[in-house]
Amino acid sequence: MIVVRSLNLDGVNYFHVKVAGLLFVATTRINLSPSLVLELLQRIARVIKDYLGVLNEDSLRKNFVLVYELLDEVIDFGYAQTTSTEVLKSYIFNEPIMVDAARLPPLGPASMFMQGTKRMPGTAVTKSVVANEPGGRKREEIFVDIIEKISVTFSSSGYILTSEIDGTIQMKSYLTGNPEIRLALNEDLAIGRGGRSVYDYCSSAGAGAVMLDDCNFHESVHLDSFDVDRTLSLVPPDGEFPVMNYRITQEFKPPFRVNALIEEAGAFKAEVILKVRAEFSSNITANTVVVQMPLPKYTTRLDDTHKKKVDELSRVIVGGSEHTLRAKLTFSQESHANIMKEAGPVTMNFTIPMYNASRLQVRYLQIAKRSKTYNPYRWVRYVTQANSYVARL
Amino acid sequence: ILTPVCLTHLLCRIKEFSEWAQCLVLDLVSKYVPSDSNEIFDVMNLLEDRLQHANGAVVLATTKVFLHMTLSMNDVHQQVYERIKAPLLTLVSSGSPEQSYAVLSHLHLLVVRAPYLFSSDYKHFYCQYNEPSYVKKLKLDMLTAVANESNTYEIVTELCEYVANVDVPIARESVRAVGKIALQQYDVNAIVDRLLQFLEMEKDYVTAETLVLVKDLLRKYPQWSQDCIAVVGNISSKNVQELKAKAALIWMLGEYSQDMLDAPYILESLIDNWDDEHSAEVRLHLLTAVVKCFFRRPPETQKALGAALAAGLADSHQDVHDRALFYYRLLQYDVSAAERVVNPPKQAVSVFADYQSSEIKDRIFDEFNSLSVVYQKPSYMFTDKEHRGAFELSEEIGSLSVGTESMDIAIPAQRVEANDNDLLLSTSEKEESRVPSNNGSAYNAPSVSLATLDTQSELISPLSSLPSYAPNPTLVIDDLLGLDLPSSSAPAPARSPSPPPLKLNAKATMDPSTFQRKWGQLPLSLSKECSINPQGVAALTTPQVLLRHMQSHSIHCIASGGKSPHYKFFFFAQDTEEPVSYYLMECIINTSSAKAQLKIKADDKNTSAAFSTLFQSALSKFGMS
């Protein structure tokens, strides 16, 4: 069986990951853990990104020598030494050459956080961690991003079949001197369901309690006070790293409700009605919303009477609004059986900044004070993205 | 290698290592054998928090340690499963798709090993719409494994949704998954309804898969024939183009011809298109079906039978021709006998053969947290010899048919069969197990003979001929093998006062794991290099030739292989005298240089010299007879 992501050819095993359009490949002859290699490749990609600020073909080409030095330090005789940007700093002597960040394509990492007309500082997260800012003075900042990916499946009768949130708290620290940080989450955060199937209805949890099924932490996080008051204390290493990954299967309010209907109007015609309703509050806007619905193979024509609405639908949806799309379909052959079964499920892709479906929140972010005037910028951002948002017909 | 002191030292400080070093430490720990259960619990307590690590490799390595250490303690082992479920599921959803697949493969392995422990978590294994197809396939496997009485209905409902999927291979796999669940369960009512619904969907690939499954279902549950046949009968055979589906449909036509009114006519039209039918499998099925139909409804089928037999006899394919001839003669001889042969009352099939022998599965489990799990093959099947770590000897044995050239996966057939054979030498699962690779071919003759050589074999050469070898060897060896004996005169006097000549047990048996263990434990008694005479070299065209020769001298082969000019053999022999002792030897032969290297290990060192001369004399005779 040839697996796509790891391949065995002539006794050599090949692994690769794809990051930002670049392929990172590793080879080995021995039988070792695929997780190890894949994690390593991801880490290497991240270290390179930390050093270069932005990872794309251009920056890699300009900084080839630096990347070569990094690879040399990270792996020795086939054993991974360290992938911590911080530790590597003392061994790497090349300086990164910056690539002009303004020439980034619009869907770069910063645009995820665009909120209507309010824009986040676009270049903030594309600075290199190690390079010195021109002018000498470094801006002290720390970014905490809570990125949640939600997967929801609606059955054909409209109720939720499966729902899951996979979340991660990413931190990127530009603080000098590595001060200690305390991050506090919801006080009523509960972890684990104690062995019962997570889909059993659980009425013992308080009305507002957030319940995580499971979480795992970065190794630099101290969990001593986590049990007490749900705070994490850590000394953040340089660069970007996930503080915590968590998974929630508790029920939550889905941000969109989708209804789709296909009505037959004669032998060769049908009408499609697609309704999308945003359930979140109106001061939040979802962007890059795309709704897809596969139609039966034998559809020949699709007339939508509301062409403009289609465009609207695919860009921005303001909270609380409802959009409807009607379209007429013409078929080349007579449809038999249930046409709803022939058409595929409706899938949605979206990004909603400043909204998270679980109610996990960062209550406060304390940085150990070094001097009275030390007041670094703290950015805490929430993003919800669609992982697999499906409504069956 | 790892002492308890060293172990505690490492484990207490494990947090101070970087995560990659932690993986290495955990690997070492998994090889450590704890002395008692207290130690096991200590180790597990120390490592408990590693399961919360964000790095998937660390979590998997810790899981391996936990699972291997608790293999002997059943209830703790189950608790381990409960404990690792949550972290593994989190890992599946948190990483990149590649990492998620690696973790999912491991989860798949665990689910298949202990399906009842995961049966309440089946919802986690639902396929998500945007997943790549290899992930979906794994999840389908897991869903079929965890299906049990309580959750079958929901799982099957979910699988039916996947059948409507746009992606054709996944739709096919989903239909097969539904069928697999049906074959496992007793309550197949709803499933049969669903399968029949699939037939109504009128998508050709769905119909094809469903037909194959309905056929299997009918083999196991003949009581459902009424419902199934009613729907199947409506399918026009022209719509069914795929070979397996066609074969399945024809089988059903033959088997249930009295219930399906149109059976003879459908068969007749198929036979008229005999020339259009290129597949031998379909033609074979067609022949059998028409004969069965004839027994039930003779007047309608007679003409079709005649046409079929005529076409079959004229067919170019050997199997088809043979079968047609066989039926023709049988019918000529006695019609009722023919009926008993071709159409006996059948019992429902209770169990379908498993695809992978359990030994291989255990091997893969031993190599948890490595590529074996992702490839679903034990490591010796895909690694080069020099780079193997843990299983030294077993991999040596396993790789023998590889030869010393580099692996080429493109020729898996012969090689993998021989490998599989080694594992099967001591088990009787030969007929059930199949090679888990992309060729589905059954064992063919040469490999089977290897197996039979090793088991209780009826042995030809008499034991009495053995003593005569003992006094002769010196001269024979000197002349023919040109051996470098320390001094040619010394062996002669050394031989005569030697202990009574060795008698070897002609029916000795040894299973591979014992061989491996002994080989590891015993010191090397003798290592020699000798040359082979030209006749021997010429005769050594395949390994089997030497094996049979050695067999005739009561020296049994436990593994062999290689391609010209390199051959490698592992032999063993058993002394019939009390105390019973074993001799093990490794023999590497290079036919191009006509040299052989021998390594002999013996339970009883005193007799090892006598044995080695025996062996060498046997070797010298090779090519002579």
Residue range A2-88, CATH number? 3.30.450.60
Class of domain A140-252+355-391: mainly beta
Chain Cα centroid distance, residue A376: 26
User: Above 0.90 for ipTM, yes or no?
Assistant: no
Which letter, b or e, does each residue of B543-552 get, where b requires 16 or more Cβ atoms within 10 Å of its Cβ?
A: bbebbebbbb
Report the C-alpha gap between B272 and B307 in whole angstroms. 8
Question: Where do the CATH 2.60.40.1170 domains begin and end in chain A?
Answer: 140-252+355-391, 256-353
Q: Does B382 touch chain A (CB under 8 A)?
A: yes
**Within 10 Å of residue B5's Cβ, how many Cβ atoms?**
8
| Cross-chain residue pair A29–B121, CB shorter than 8 Å | no
Residues 29-88 of B with CB under 8 A from A: 49, 51-57, 59-61, 82, 86-87
Q: Which of A6, A217, A337 sits opposite B52 (nearest CB)?
A: A217
pLDDT tens digit sequence for B152-187: 778 878 888 887 776 778 888 888 888 788 777 756
Q: Which of B53, B60, B96 sits opposite A33 (nearest CB)?
A: B60
In SS3 terms, A29-68 reads as CCCCCHHHHHHHHHHHHHHHHHHHCCCCHHHHHHCHHHHH
Please name the residue of chain B whose CA is at the shortest distance from the CA of residue A191. Answer: B86
pTM over 0.80: no
Per-residue confidence (pLDDT) for residue B149, from 0 to 100 = 76
Please name the residue of chain A whose CA is at the shortest distance from the CA of residue B383. Answer: A11
Helical segments of B221-349, H only: 225-232, 243-255, 263-272, 280-296, 298-313, 318-333, 335-342
Q: Which of B15, B105, B407 sits opposite A10 (nearest CB)?
A: B407
| Cross-chain residue pair B202–A8, CB shorter than 8 Å | no
Please give the structure tokens belonging to residue B556. 């049994």
Q: Which residues of chain B have pLDDT under 50?
A: 389-500, 624-625
| Cross-chain residue pair A215–B90, CB shorter than 8 Å | yes
Q: Is omega for the bond preceding B579 within 30 degrees of 0, making it cis? A: yes
The strand pairing partners of A160, in sequence order, are: A154
Which residues have a Cβ under 8 Å from the Cβ of A176 and sit 6 or more positions away? A138, A140
Contacts of A192 in chain B (CB under 8 A): 86
| Cross-chain residue pair B90–A29, CB shorter than 8 Å | no
Q: Tell which of B64, B88, B128 to mutate to test the A interface (max A CBs under 10 Å).
A: B128
Per-residue confidence (pLDDT) for residue A109, from 0 to 100 = 44
Per-residue confidence (pLDDT) for residue A389, from 0 to 100 = 87
Q: Does B594 touch chain A (CB under 8 A)?
A: no
Per-residue confidence (pLDDT) for residue B186, from 0 to 100 = 58
Compute the nearest-CA separation of A42 from chain B (Å): 8
Q: Tell which of B31, B53, B60, B96 to mutate to test the A interface (max A CBs under 10 Å).
A: B96
Contacts of B164 in chain A (CB under 8 A): 341-342, 344
Per-residue confidence (pLDDT) for residue B564, from 0 to 100 = 59
Q: Which of B51, B128, B166 sits opposite A294 (nearest CB)?
A: B166
Per-residue confidence (pLDDT) for residue A202, from 0 to 100 = 42
pLDDT tens digit sequence for B221-237: 777 777 777 777 777 66
Contacts of A36 in chain B (CB under 8 A): 20, 23, 57
Contacts of A358 in chain B (CB under 8 A): none
Residue range A256-353, CATH number? 2.60.40.1170
Of residues B574, B578, B552, B549, the one with CA closest to residue B462: B552
Contacts of A244 in chain B (CB under 8 A): 54
Per-residue confidence (pLDDT) for residue B474, from 0 to 100 = 42
**Within 10 Å of residue B538's Cβ, how many Cβ atoms?**
11
The strand pairing partners of A366, in sequence order, are: A182
Q: Which of B89, B120, B200 sits opposite A247 (nearest CB)?
A: B89
| Cross-chain residue pair B370–A34, CB shorter than 8 Å | yes
Report the C-alpha gap between B615 and B613 in whole angstroms. 5
pLDDT tens digit sequence for A205-259: 445 678 888 888 888 888 888 888 888 888 888 778 888 888 888 888 888 888 8
Report the C-alpha gap between B127 and B554 in whole angstroms. 57
| Cross-chain residue pair B371–A80, CB shorter than 8 Å | no
| Cross-chain residue pair A30–B134, CB shorter than 8 Å | no
CA distances to B100, B144, B152, B365 from B119, rounded to whole Å, are 21, 10, 10, 20
Q: Which of B97, B101, B123 sits opposite A199 (nearest CB)?
A: B123
Contacts of B437 in chain A (CB under 8 A): 1
Q: Does B239 touch chain A (CB under 8 A)?
A: no
Report the C-alpha gap between B533 and B614 in whole angstroms. 17
Q: Which residues of chain A have pLDDT under 70?
A: 1-7, 100-138, 193-208, 297-316, 333-342, 372
| Cross-chain residue pair B23–A166, CB shorter than 8 Å | no
Please give the structure tokens belonging to residue B88. 């593994």
Per-residue confidence (pLDDT) for residue B471, from 0 to 100 = 40
Per-residue confidence (pLDDT) for residue B351, from 0 to 100 = 60
Cβ-based contacts under 8 A for chains A and B: 186
